[in-house]
Chains A and B, each alone.
Chain A
């Protein structure tokens, strides 16, 4: 079974092993390719020292050598805007635009076709950068990450820029963490290890699964406990949203890339909290034809007590996508 949805891996997924220097950049590319994924995404400032300064010619040659060797394609680079990089100074729009352009030059040099635009980027700045992105044939995608959703007020302002400019080079990158029907167990368990009340945690999980609005749950918990850690558990329900996957439908043509967030891939190759089968069914039915890039992010929640195995988590996520009809 195959479809027009392609599979990629964000090397962000291997951050635990990369941080500890158990895997180098080539190892990460090789591990991604071994899953059968055909696309590579990076957080440039994680994978390439000095980014967003342009890498050396030697590095660029090495990079494309790896792409050939492992039969994968550069897909997306994730950029940041460090508005407050200088203490006490907030960037002007001109400074932000220049930083953004440098990320476009960086992405272009390494063959990426999409840039993940960090969510704090204003619509005005993106509008100023669009011609430069068009010149470099790079599609910009504002990341729609929980607690935002694709119909949030902030995203409506970005959508307005997309519509008004009519550009083909600006769209959305939904993060699948916006479809958490259950709260991620690895997050809840970590908070219990840090002292959260297990009974309150159970209550919050139940409310979330029932679809109770997070603000109601937060208020209920504020009456049960005055401890910060218990409130933090309640707030998990606000940060791990679930919205109807059908909310993507009117925007399908504006989706330039997708972050396949996963926090806990089970042995049966399903994600504990995200009903991927439901979301992917919507994407297939309505003709999404870009990449879904695995973005494993569970390491930070389990690294205090467990050995992290990012390679296996990514393998399971890719197998799940394949089972659901994505890629070859």
Chain B
């Protein structure tokens, strides 16, 4: 992944989904649904591939 020179701020990235109209609302719903599901998932289920929301929430 290519990163910009500026640290955009994680919270500042997420909030854009919440102000981005209907398309943004769909993204936000999906994002938080995945996070919710991840909370109830057994720890061994989270693993390779796309970084798990669990990883990000618990750092």
Q: Do A and B bind each other?
A: no
Interface, chain B (partner A; CB < 8 A): none
